[in-house]
Amino acid sequence: MHFENIIMRFVLFVTLCYIPISLSTAMELLSQEKNETNINLSLKNVPVTEALDALSKQTGYKFLYDESQLSSLSSISIQLKNSNLQEVFSQINKQVKLHFFKVDDTYTVVRSTEISTSKVQQGIKVTGTVSDNSGESLPGVSVVVRGTSVGTATDINGEYSITVPSDTSVLQFRFVGFQQQNIVVGNRRIIAVTLNDATTEIGEVVVVAFGAQKKESVIGSITTINPSELKIPSSNLTNSLAGNLAGVIAYQRSGEPGADNADFFVRGITTFGTNTNPLILIDGIELTTTDLARLQPDDIASFSVMKDATATALYGARGANGVILVTTKQGTFGPAKIFIRFENSISAPTRNVGLTDPVNYMKLANEAVLTRNPLGELPYSEEKIENTESGMDPLIYPANNWRDMLFKDYAMNQRVNLNVSGGGGVARYYVAGSFSKDNGILKVDGRNNFNNNINLKNYTLRANVNIDVTKTTELIVRLSGNFDDYNGPIYTGTQMYNMAVRANPVMFPAYYPVDEQHKFVNHILFGNHENEYRNPYAEMVKGYKDDSRSQML
């Protein structure tokens, strides 16, 4: 398809352009780390925050500030060449009054109206511990200076250390399951904090499948996985479930493209009948295993599995075998972000059945007859065995390795995903498109004018748009499309493999060369033996089938 060629060329162009830019940018950042001299700035009428960001990129220092304090300041202009850091600070202070407090590699920026001259210092270091009501230390507690991006977390002993801009700063202590505490620093330099249990949270009302329930009524076994853990070198998402989700049993019956969906059960099978699969909900819509298989990991925001009676309580009998809940990404406020991922992978059988050679095949066949009847008629004469072993005449004494004739060692597969997200104050958007091409390992005879190998192309489109109609009303538009184009042999890959390993390797050749008598024959002269045996090579190349699948939601 022309669409496929355009995508591949676009990805190659972006990849070639992107690599040198990324390397040069990285080298530039490394060379500028902690650079206090040779600063070059040319800024005209820009916000103070933008000037600080530009200064951070050149020097390697971090600048922490309360954006609400600096956003009201007038714009500034800076024209400096080969200057040092103090000259930059001086030019900024000529236009707006700021104070810069340095602690290690970080400058805290505060308006001069926010502090008195006596408090112009290199920041205030505060240490302490955090524990619960029983006196046990709490590791991992978030400690943040309110209104800033300055923060830290307690270590394994519940201890923390943080530098605050002034003694009027407020420290926020937050931890899951405990009530948040806000403490003013004041003249204290050591602050010990005790967090109280959030016992009232159990009475909260949460939104469930159909309405709202008390939180204690929906507590159950739910497993959530990070979408990044679902990225494997495969175009089928269901193949990544095995081993990644506790309580989920998944196995793959075939590796053939188009027939490689994994079967999976959530804590076994709890219903009778043909439908033993869990309920699959993607953005609240019930879909099939194939729809889940075609879902792109880059488009997933959250992936959860409900594994016990909770699912039945919320979704009825359809949730008896568990529920898989998938939510796709939505746009966020900010400039457009473009993400592209291109993969090229090699697929090969992990293990092959060992087959004996044609000569031993005949010897073992004779031995099998003699062990049952010492006077039985042998299927292969000593003359045939010896002439086959010496390779006298491959047409009269054929020795076929059917598996090597039908199958290649590996196949090349390609995948590409492109998504754009962003938004403003009224609308947010997430738009994505992807293409994947999976090939089989069947060989193609150049004498045919068609491709009998397995070739599966998949195209997916997704658009999630959120629009704020009013302050209390949001319009959500979600569109997804999934399109499959399949080309393959008349028989499945599994059937072709069974034919190859079960066919007689010494009865007839795969095909005969064209002689003078048959020079006007247009088709391949396949070998056979009185129509009693199947020629697997003829079955593979005698035709092909194609199929397509389209779905829009």
pLDDT at 213: 59
For 72-139, the three-class secondary structure string (H helix, E strand, C coil) is CCCCEEEEEEEECHHHHHHHHHHHCCEEEEEECCEEEEEEHHHCCHHHCCCCEEEEEEEECCCCCECC
Using DSSP's 3-state secondary structure scheme, residue 472 falls into: coil
User: Residue type for 59, please?
Assistant: T
Residue 514 pLDDT more than 90? no
Average pLDDT of 407-417? Answer: 94
pLDDT at 485: 95
432 - beta bridge partners? 419, 462
* Model pLDDT for residues 119-130, shown as the tens digit of each residue: 434 578 899 999
Using DSSP's 3-state secondary structure scheme, residue 372 falls into: helix
pLDDT at 390: 92
pLDDT at 461: 96
* Model pLDDT for residues 195-230, shown as the tens digit of each residue: 988 754 444 455 556 555 554 455 567 778 888 888
**DSSP 8-state secondary structure symbol assigned to residue 114:** G
Cβ count within 10 A of residue 89: 16
Average pLDDT of 97-101? Answer: 75
Q: What is the spatial distance between Cα 292 and Cα 301, in angstroms, rounded to a whole number?
A: 14
Cβ count within 10 A of residue 526: 16
Residue 273 pLDDT more than 80? no
Scored b (16 or more CB within 10 A) or e, 182-197 reads: ebebeeeeebebebee
Residue 452 pLDDT more than 50? yes
Residue 17 pLDDT more than 70? no
- Tell me phi and psi for residue 203, to 5 degrees: -90, 0
- Tell me phi and psi for residue 160, to 5 degrees: -140, 160
* Model pLDDT for residues 28-84, shown as the tens digit of each residue: 333 334 556 678 888 888 888 888 888 888 888 888 777 767 777 888 888 888 888
Residue 439 pLDDT more than 70? yes
Residue 11 pLDDT more than 50? no
pLDDT at 228: 84
**DSSP 8-state secondary structure symbol assigned to residue 13:** H
416 burial via Cβ count (<10 Å: 0-12, 13-18, 19+): buried
pLDDT at 446: 83
pLDDT at 274: 67
Q: Which two tokens stand for residue 467?
A: 């629009």
pLDDT at 112: 60
Q: What is the spatial distance between Cα 49 and Cα 47, in angstroms, rounded to a whole number?
A: 5
* Model pLDDT for residues 280-326, shown as the tens digit of each residue: 999 989 999 899 999 999 999 988 888 777 676 778 777 888 888 89
Q: What is the spatial distance between Cα 222 and Cα 449, in angstroms, rounded to a whole number?
A: 53
* Model pLDDT for residues 487-498, shown as the tens digit of each residue: 999 998 889 999
Q: Are 74 and 95 spatial neighbours (Cβ–Cβ below 8 Å)?
A: yes
Q: In what order do the strands lie in the sheet with 170-174?
A: 151-153, 142-145, 170-174, 181-184
pTM value is: 0.58
pLDDT at 207: 52
331 - beta bridge partners? none
Residue-averaged pLDDT of the chain = 82
* Model pLDDT for residues 324-369, shown as the tens digit of each residue: 889 999 998 889 999 999 999 999 888 888 899 999 999 999 999 9
Cβ count within 10 A of residue 10: 14
